[in-house]
Structure 1
Amino acid sequence: MRTREPRPLGFWLLAIVFALFVFFMYGPMLVIFVLSFQGPEGGLTFPMRGVSLHWFRKLAEGLGVVDIGAALLRSLGLGLAVMACTVVLSVLAGLAFRKKLRGGNLLFFVVVASLIMPSIIVSLGIGLEFRLLDSAIKALLGAVGMESALEGYGTSLGLFTSALGAHLTWTLPFGLLIMFAVFNRFNPAYEEAARDLGATPWQGFVHVVLPLIAPSVVGIGMFGFTLSWDEIARTSQAIGDVNTLPLELQGLTSTVTTPAIYALGTVTTLVSFVVMACALAWVRVLGRRREGRAA
């Protein structure tokens, strides 16, 4: 019988470092999960005082003047919009960059540059840009004599205007880089075969290219949603008069001194897990369909 050789010392040292890294990454999240299930007498630290869903019920009732439900719906709506825009624009840009474009290198660096810019600077710049746009719109309305429209005009800053643009400066570079990696490995022989069989460019994309890149497209959508879901810095100065859930959560950390804040953190994390689970399930379904077609 062959004896198993003992692991070298270096293996155990690396294993310990990896275990400490995992604990450092996920330990705080696990602590929040555990403390959110405390009883009515629970506090913000250990030891736990009972086990119940009390603080989730308190969360459903509301936390002071903050409407958690409305903030949750705003974040979901913005995340879905960012996801859709990121997927569509990334795929179109990936297809465009398959051919040599005049000024393509400059365009690529302009898009990717937003990754290295401080997020708060991006948010401040977008907020200032839309405030200048507000001034221009008000001046135009006053010049053409539309006083009623001028009185009712508020601001162009909003969830699906400035905030959407701010989030896209964060998600689009990731989507574009993913599509570059996908199309660099894409075999154009499939498209050539489709053209030989009489397929139009649109039919070739829908029935050949899109099914092959579908798992990566789903991944881009998941990236877009999750990056938008917990974004704070790029939202803070570009959101207008309303707040997303992360901004409300940031504000509550200085006013709420009960485990209800942990319950809110647990709920938001579970939403992220649900989105990731749906994306992975969709990828699996697409893989099975492709295997079935191949068979």
Structure 2
Amino acid sequence: MHGIDAWRDASSSRAKTLAALRSALARIEGRHGDGNHAERSGLFALGAPDVDVFLGGGLERACLHEVQAPCDADWPAAVGFGLALALRAAPGRPLLWARQDFLESEAGRLSGLGLAEFGADPAALSLVRGRDAEAVLRAAVDAARCKSLGAALIEISGAPRALDLTATLRLARSAEASGVTLFLLRIRVDGVKTGPPSAAVSRWRAGAQNSRALLANAPGAPCFSVTLLRRRGGAADRSWRLEWLRDRGLFRETVETHNAPLSGSVPALPADGALASFPTWRRAG
């Protein structure tokens, strides 16, 4: 009987999470309408000229991209790089972030103040937590079908069975139909170029790098070491060092520095408990 009760509790929790997500998406639909698919198709540039030239003008909107963090030390950088890509893909549009709930106990809750410092509007971002990868992927498919969203981030740890080629195909097709750009943030993965089968148009590996010091040796802009592992129909196997310029909302290529005040493992995106008092955050689930 205890097993049946646990199954019922889990089913009830999943149902409540999906109901909350659909309610949040309905509110977004009401505020922003369906949007213009044409305005959310085509390419988006990263802002760093050499990178954009190599990419043939930029990355594709309305599809699935993947950002990998091979180990915990790269986790914050991969998340920060994925968020910056989402901001480039859908400037000024609502975003949704779906993540496994246990990640909060390991890395802390997302900070609304930290998001604002990074250049994202916390009031335009909805957070969905799922108890496992399967729940997160179901929420992500629902989000991908919401035409009023600009982009969605899907944060999953490891290589769960639910995250297979069929799941990524479902996400990719939903994104293509709606115009929403999806970023799958894969934490603690191998990072091998061939990797597991995926319908992602591009696959990246991201890690943290020293920032360039500002005046008075103050911490500089978030800096990432990124490698394009694979891109459908295009060249890959190329690495760059990129700064994220919050005030301009774009990336800039930079060179390695040795006198920066931040170590390479400091998160590019703050993650702490400050979110609890941030009044404009919405959480579904």
TM bracket, shorter-chain basis? under 0.3
Q: Larger Cα Rg: Structure 1 or Structure 2?
A: 1
Could you state the TM-score of these two structures normalised by the residue count of structure 2? 0.23
Q: Which has the higher strand share?
A: 2
Greater per-residue helix proportion: 1
| Structure ranking higher on relative contact order (CA contacts 8 Å, 6+ apart) | 1
* TM-score normalised per structure 1: 0.23
